[in-house]
Amino acid sequence: MDHIKAGTHATRRGNPDWFTGAVWQDPIVEAPAPARVRAARVAFEPGARTNWHTHPLGQTLHVIQGTGRFQTLGGPVVTLRAGDTVFIPPGEKHWHGASPTHGMVHIAIHEFDGETHVTWMEPVTDADYAVAPTG
Ligand code: MN
């Protein structure tokens, strides 16, 4: 077993090429092969969000704090709240982040296909981010 004690890995700032605003990432697991699960705690400050992106094997998000936003391409913007879980199927283009006025923290769980676990695309524009959520 590998007991990774709190404080072992420094919190990372999300790469500005892939995120808008301040995003803080704490890795939970990057399991060695043949396992391929990856998980991280991701904290978005108000207004912060991912770029549009896809995951080759899908992704599960579980919100643990705050109020956020989620959208699949062509779908409505929806509100995420603590306790919510979202599953994004493989290849579905989407983004996730905080609400404009509140931070949001989620656990992100996905699998590594041997080459990648995420394909990054263009930023979510301020106009697209400003769309009022429908639920
Ligand atoms: Mn995602």
Q: Which CATH class is domain 12-129?
A: mainly beta
Task: Output the CA 9–ligand 1 centroid distance in Å.
Answer: 22
Task: Output the CA 99–ligand 1 centroid distance in Å.
Answer: 16
Question: Rounded distance, CA 37 to CA 81, Å?
Answer: 24
The tens digit of pLDDT for each residue in 40-89 reads: 999 999 999 999 999 999 999 999 999 999 999 999 999 999 999 999 99
Task: Output the CA 49–ligand 1 centroid distance in Å.
Answer: 10
Q: Which residues are CB-contacts of 87 (< 8 A; sequence separation ≥ 6)?
A: 58, 59, 60
- Kindly state the tokens that stand for 102: 């509140």
Looking at the predicted structure, is the pLDDT value of residue 135 above 90? no
pLDDT-based confidence at 124, cuts 50/70/90? Answer: very high
Answer yes or no: pTM beyond 0.85: yes
Task: Output the CA 93–ligand 1 centroid distance in Å.
Answer: 8
Question: Rounded distance, CA 49 to CA 13, Å?
Answer: 13
Task: Output the CA 57–ligand 1 centroid distance in Å.
Answer: 11
Question: Rounded distance, CA 14 to CA 1, Å?
Answer: 29
Residue spans per domain, the chain: 12-129
The tens digit of pLDDT for each residue in 90-121 reads: 999 999 999 999 999 999 999 999 899 999 99
Task: Output the CA 52–ligand 1 centroid distance in Å.
Answer: 8
Task: Output the CA 55–ligand 1 centroid distance in Å.
Answer: 7
* Surface-to-core class of residue 135, CB atoms within 10 Å of its CB (0-12 exposed, 13-18 middle, 19+ buried): exposed
